[in-house]
Structure 1
């Protein structure tokens, strides 16, 4: 037995040493946990340890009602990030299959994450929840085949989604010709534009529905041959849903609301100019205001615009070209906005737009000015740059959001090659910080090749 033990130790020792060396090497290769961006003076934090970890889409609910935790996805499952300690833990394992547990949203009533899971035997998709507090998981309801769910309502009683209502519909019309014929593959921007044109023109019938999370009762809210997408329940009204007519923005009236019984279908923004666009809509936390990117016309003049649904009051804060962002977001109090920037291939064609920015809304309404309840209330966004994103490939959208205390702006980035969730402090770092460095130079140590704009085909 003694000799056998020695033999096993002899065999395992080099393997254990190699494993330890590998772990140390991987840790050494990981981007730093924190540094101060020398171009902005703001401290940046790497919040997730897992390469290829990712935050939710910018307007999906991702932070628990108590403000303590944020959900994020990683290769091994759904994780919780403690916003105070910055410690992370695995909440819903996926056994190495990222499709096995698919995050919908964090609840607004309980500290729970809602997610989709497929039964391996029956292939039935179900909605589940997992508690951030206890880790307990619970199956809620099965979904009928082909139903897709995107949002959970404010009191966690309903989910909303869509399904394609004509099983005989010929989906080959969605494929079109092979991308790039002739001349090779299209750029990312051109390929996406072509796909959106085909999908809009297809007139594929679908149904917008709500499903009761206790009884599984389905209520069909809207039958449409328009492309319905980006469903998002109100943060305060459990029976109010926002959705969009998807497609090329200059061809659609995009932003809509509807009651869960199918009534009061309402267009949020009515265009008055050809080529005027509005989109990438998001709720204010008070549930009163819908905010969105408004361009009047497309690619020329930029605003973060808002409409109060109860009063009809409208706001328009002008944004400079280099501050335009793929997505904007707002803090809980509605006093600060943030944007995730964009490269020169985006709609703004910004020559220097690759920054995470802080935006302070400032009214330009003069005292005694002629005004009316139907007038836009004018303002400008005063910007401050937070992070230099020059090494970020904007084919991946950063998806900015504030922490509940407005102290951090959270986003994801591939500037290091692998994707991580990062946070940047809203307040500037203290003078004399020892770890001031160029964010692009730091990123190039991990991803030396500079990203190409989204309207340029990447080289191999």
Structure 2
């Protein structure tokens, strides 16, 4: 007997609030679970702006209805609105394949080899560009003035490369070793052909546009951190000038997971000094020129960090040490506190915690599969001194 097709959900459908709250057993901090559906939901990668409607709403990705679509979450009421309408069995919106404009009520996303623009008010969408079958594109990001969408075009991986079953593509190391010819491009939001800003034979990802400087972005040489020659790079889109940020002039320095501060000038990152068992973990910051940097020991392992500036950092621990931690500047270094346990598996990229400080600095959004499926959580930051030490 043939099974019934899963009914497609409709664009504009409003789901009632799914928010549930509970108290962390160790820190006694209240955590809000914002999504509660029998499928994976996740917030954007922590380097990407997800907010619209004056910051009241947040775009997220979900597999509801057995399809991949974007949804909008009202952070005040908890109501969820379906924003796109891709049907079950189609490619749908690529996870981590979307961004929101800083200046317009508009989002941009990948689906079925196309880059689309989505009006977040009337939910109309338009195709900006369709790419050839022999390439793929990395996560898009918007310029600060809202005029362009930037991303990397990468040749489709060679067929002989083995496939990582958790990602559906070659491993990070195999992609790095293949030295693909990558192009950083931008496309006007009105559509058109990509303008090449930079190209080279190196695996490039993480194009992060400054939230305040329309012509400035960072990108990274991707691959296993211990093998990459120079991770962080800056690019001026007008002059096409490229420069290293925080020069790695020693094999004993490995860094990554760079992100912009809210001022669009400073950059945070983390890494290790040294190799092997004697390596020391640190968090660092620099300006985008890369001319000066500061790095500070962080005694507890974190897979990612995020912050609005230097004063307060959030880290996400590891699968073996599953805590969200806070690190406050004390004038010389950082004091650590446990915020809550996240219980996340880190099994796939969508099931990474990726904690993101909210724009007002009063809360942290993160993803966890603590209840089985990946869901989105919000924890408000209490008085720092009320928390147990990390």
- Global fold match (TM > 0.5): yes
Q: Are the equivalent residues in 1 in contact too, given 2:310–2:329 (CA < 8 A)?
A: no
Q: Find 2:56's aligned residue among 65, 68, 71.
A: 68
Q: State the 1:246 CA deviation.
A: 0.5
Which aligned pairs between 1:97-112 and structure 2 lie closer than 5 A? 99-102=91-94, 103-112=97-106
Compared CA separation, residues 217 and 151, structure 1 to 2 (3 A): same
Greater share of helix residues, 1 or 2? 1
Correspondences of 1:39-118 after superposition (within 5 Å): 39-51=26-38, 52-64=40-52, 66-76=54-64, 77-96=69-88, 99-102=91-94, 103-118=97-112
Change (3 A) 1:418 1:231: same
Bigger radius of gyration, 1 or 2?
Answer: 1
Give the Cα–Cα distance (whole angstroms) in 2 for the partners of residues 411 and 38 of structure 1: 18
| Partner residue in 1 for 2:116 | 127
8 Å contact 1:50–1:74 — kept in the other structure? no
* Aligned counterparts, 1:312-327, within 5 A: 312-321=291-300, 324-327=301-304
- Deviation at 1:428? 5.9
Structure 2 counterparts to residues 277-288 of structure 1, below 5 A: 277-288=254-265
The residue aligned with 2:361 is 406
| Aligned Cα root-mean-square deviation (Å) | 2.9
Provide TM-score, normalisation by structure 2.
0.82
Give ranges in structure 1 of 5+ residues lacking alignment: 1-30, 119-123, 180-184, 345-352, 365-379, 432-460
CA deviations 1:154-184 (Å, max 9, x no partner) are 122111222246x8xx813423xx88xxxxx
* SS of 1:363 mapped into structure 2: coil
Q: Is 1:36 the counterpart of 2:30 in the alignment?
A: no
**Larger strand proportion, structure 1 or 2?**
2
2:180 and 2:201 in contact (8 A); partners too: yes
- Identify if the C-alpha distance between structure 1 residues 173 and 361 changes in structure 2 by more than 3 Å, giving closer, same or farther: farther
Gaps of 5+ in 2: 1-17
Pairs within 5 Å for 1:144-183:
144-145=131-132, 146=135, 148=137, 150-164=140-154, 171-175=158-162
Which structure would you say has the larger RCO, counting Cα contacts within 8 Å and 6 or more residues apart?
A: 1
1:384 is matched with 337
What is the distance in 2 between the residues matched to 1:392 and 1:80?
23
Q: CA deviation at 1:98?
A: 7.2
Instruction: Find the residue that maps to 1:159 and give its secondary structure.
Output: strand
Secondary structure of the residue aligned to 1:171 is: coil
Structure 2 CA distance for partners of 1:275 and 1:212, relative to 1, 3 Å: same
Alignment pair present for 1:141 and 2:128:
yes
Give per-residue Cα distances to partners, 1:220-241, cap 9 Å, x unaligned. 1222111011111111112112
- Cα deviation 1:171-230 (Å, max 9, x = unaligned): 13423xx88xxxxx9xx89x99x9233222212222222222225142212221110111
- Runs of 4+ deviating beyond 6 Å: none
User: 1: distance between equivalents of 2:92 and 2:294?
Assistant: 42
* Mapping for residues 401-440 of structure 1, pairs under 5 Å: 401-427=356-382
Q: 2:315, 2:53 → 1: CA distance?
A: 23
* CA-to-aligned-CA distance 1:264-298 (integer Å, 9 cap, x gap): 21111212432310101100010111111121124
Show the 5 A alignment for 1:336-355. 336-344=312-320, 353-355=321-323
Structure 1 window deviating more from structure 2 (277-286 vs 107-116): it is: 107-116
